[in-house]
Amino acid sequence: MNILPSWVTLLFVVTVLLTIILFYYSNGKQEKLAYYLVAWSIIHSLLAYFGFYQDVAAIPPRFGLVIVPVLIALIYSFTPRKREYFYERRSTQVSTFLHAVRVPIEIILLMLYRHEMIPELMTFEGRNFDIIIGLSAPLIGLLNFYRKLSKKVLLVWNFLGLFFVTFILVNGILSAELPFQQFGFDQPNRAVIFFPFILLPATIVPIVIHTHLIDIGKLIRDIRKE
């Protein structure tokens, strides 16, 4: 991996911790969930640190150990019982602010691109529009906190944020050195197979997607009750 300025790695680690903390408070301080996220992050950090994911020729692709469990966890969290569990404990006043972590992530992605570790399409100079949600999150969060924002507007904002993060996630996966790679052949997405950047697809992106999905479901439910 090309040598990055130390502040980039430090900023990323701080962003991961901040994301987990905000997620913890967004969901009514569920300690078990926080412990799970920390343990999950440590496991993949160790695997990446010792080079497990760097064998991109392995069959099946080792990166599946990140993607498959995340998909299963997301699906499980939307079973009727778990979904209501999250709805009842969710604080959209906090969860909306969580999306501000996308701003430092965009800065980090730009630095990774300039150090030839990801393709340009994954940055805001390419196809990544996530920075729009990150920059607007503090304002949307404040308006929502002081109840100056309608639930319908917040719902639309969450749908837009979900679309942006899903779009760049798909592009990121399709530009990684995997058997089904479609983009970024001249400069593939390699950063995510190294520590600590494995935590972008393993921890940060799943938290962001889950936050959008739960908020969308809760807002739709509340709007219908009005």
How many Cβ atoms sit within 10 Å of the Cβ of residue 203? 24
Decide if pLDDT at 112 tops 70. Answer: yes
Question: Which stretch of 122-126, 180-184, 201-205 has the lowest confidence by average pLDDT?
Answer: 180-184
Joined tokens for residue 190: 């390699």
**pLDDT for res 167:** 93
Alpha helices of the chain — where are they, by DSSP H? 6-26, 31-49, 64-76, 80-89, 92-98, 102-114, 130-145, 151-174, 199, 205-225
Average pLDDT over residues 151-165: 96
**Mean pLDDT for the chain overall:** 92
Q: Which residues are within 8 A (CB) of 79 and not within 5 positions of it... i.e. 6 or more apart?
A: none
How many Cβ atoms sit within 10 Å of the Cβ of residue 1? 14
Joined tokens for residue 201: 């697809």
**pLDDT for res 2:** 60
Decide if pLDDT at 83 tops 70. Answer: yes
Q: Percentage of residues in the chain with pLDDT exceeding 70?
A: 99
CB 109, CB 128: distance < 8 Å: yes
Decide if pLDDT at 25 tops 60. Answer: yes
Nearest partner of 160 among 208, 195, 116, 197, judged by Cα? 208
Q: Is 146 exposed, middle or buried (0-12, 13-18, 19+ CB in 10 A)?
A: exposed
**pLDDT for res 151:** 93
Strand partners, 189: 176
- Supply φ then ψ for residue 115, to 5 degrees: -100, 20
Joined tokens for residue 173: 């996966």
- Letter for the amino acid at 38? V
Joined tokens for residue 69: 């469990």
Residues 194-222 pLDDT 10s: 999 999 999 999 999 999 999 999 999 98
